């Protein structure tokens, strides 16, 4: 295998106050060599040096943001140039809602780099405008508005963690459609047609992992028929993806809020894959955005 085929370059950018520093720390924990605030013009040369370092540096994270000031204007051009020269990279764009960024800046009492002498909201507006073209080129987008540090770490591990041997890493993700579609999903299953425990008062605040709720969803003929067809589909597809050489697969299961039906089906799918010896991970993206009183891991 050529050195460049072993090399993995992740470029982290995005909004100030969105969690780029925390993401970088998580990537360092995964063995990545991290360089912060690198002017974009130096990215291609730095990548070449790492590729030819005799394997000493095989996983690199470069953090590039608006602190680079006039250098940042060349960022889109550099990314386009790397694409044209077939130099592989992954672009992770970090963002958060305006009100969340404002709160974080007030808590740290720091000035926004795009508006050091004016209101934070003005800086955020300028930065969003400046980053718009970069965001459109992102490989992954992570919105940290409602994420705990542990949840951000789970996402980073899922996207950038090592894959064991030749095994495909299968990530099962439950989510709520009202919170938006997961951008990194390879396959999306909509299970909003299943009976909804939300309308049963005693189950409303319990997740789909709680036995009482799981039994309610599972008892209906439509659920049983769906699971039968789903299992058959997954048992057919996974070997085909492995045969193709796919290294990572994200299967997203969505219901309205990401609390009952999607959690139930995601757990079923996770257990199915684990029992068949596949390398599977389970994540409930939007579960805790709901009013959850009871949940079982």
Residue-range domains of the chain with CATH:
3-160 (3.40.50.300), 169-289 (no CATH)
Local structure of residue 9 (DSSP, 8 states): E
- 44-61, pLDDT tens digit by residue? 988 888 887 755 678 999
pLDDT at 90: 93
Residues in the chain where the model's pLDDT stays below 50: 1-3, 165
Let me know if 175 is exposed, middle or buried by CB neighbors in 10 A (0-12, 13-18, 19+).
Answer: buried
User: Do 168 and 248 touch, CB atoms closer than 8 A?
Assistant: yes
- pTM strictly above 0.85: no
φ and ψ of 59, to 5 deg: -135, 115
pLDDT at 146: 85
Chain position carrying tokens 């009202």: 178
Task: For the chain, report the end-to-end CA distance as a whole number of angstroms.
Answer: 40
Query: Which residue from 89, 64, 61 is spatially nearest to 13, judged by alpha carbons?
Result: 64
């Amino acid at each position: 295998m050529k050195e460049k085929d072993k090399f993995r370059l992740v470029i982290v950018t995005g909004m100030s106050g969105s969690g780029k520093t925390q993401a970088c720390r998580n990537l360092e924990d995964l063995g990545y060599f991290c360089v912060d605030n690198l002017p974009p013009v130096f990215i291609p040369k730095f990548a070449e040096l790492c590729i030819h370092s005799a394997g000493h540096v095989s996983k690199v994270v470069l953090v590039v943001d608006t602190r680079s000031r006039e250098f940042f204007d060349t960022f889109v051009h550099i990314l386009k140039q790397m694409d044209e020269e077939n130099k592989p990279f992954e672009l992770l764009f970090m963002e958060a809602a305006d009100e969340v960024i404002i709160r974080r800046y007030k808590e740290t009492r720091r000035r926004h780099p795009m508006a050091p002498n004016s209101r934070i909201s003005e800086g955020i507006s300028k930065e969003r405008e400046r980053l718009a073209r970069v965001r459109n080129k992102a490989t992954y987008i992570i919105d940290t508005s409602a994420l705990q540090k542990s949840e951000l770490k789970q996402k980073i591990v899922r996207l950038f963690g090592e894959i064991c041997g030749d095994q495909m890493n299968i990530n099962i993700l439950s989510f709520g459609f009202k919170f938006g579609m997961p951008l990194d999903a390879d396959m999306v299953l909509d299970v909003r047609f299943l009976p909804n425990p939300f309308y049963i008062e005693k189950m409303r605040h319990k997740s789909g992992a709680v036995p009482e709720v799981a039994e309610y969803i599972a008892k209906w003929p439509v659920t049983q028929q769906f699971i039968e067809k789903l299992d058959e589909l997954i048992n057919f597809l996974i070997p085909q993806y492995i045969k193709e050489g796919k290294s990572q697969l994200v299967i997203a299961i969505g219901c309205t809020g990401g609390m009952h039906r999607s959690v139930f089906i995601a757990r079923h799918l996770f257990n199915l894959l684990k029992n068949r010896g596949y390398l599977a991970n389970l994540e409930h993206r939007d579960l805790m955005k709901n009013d959850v009183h009871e949940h079982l891991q």
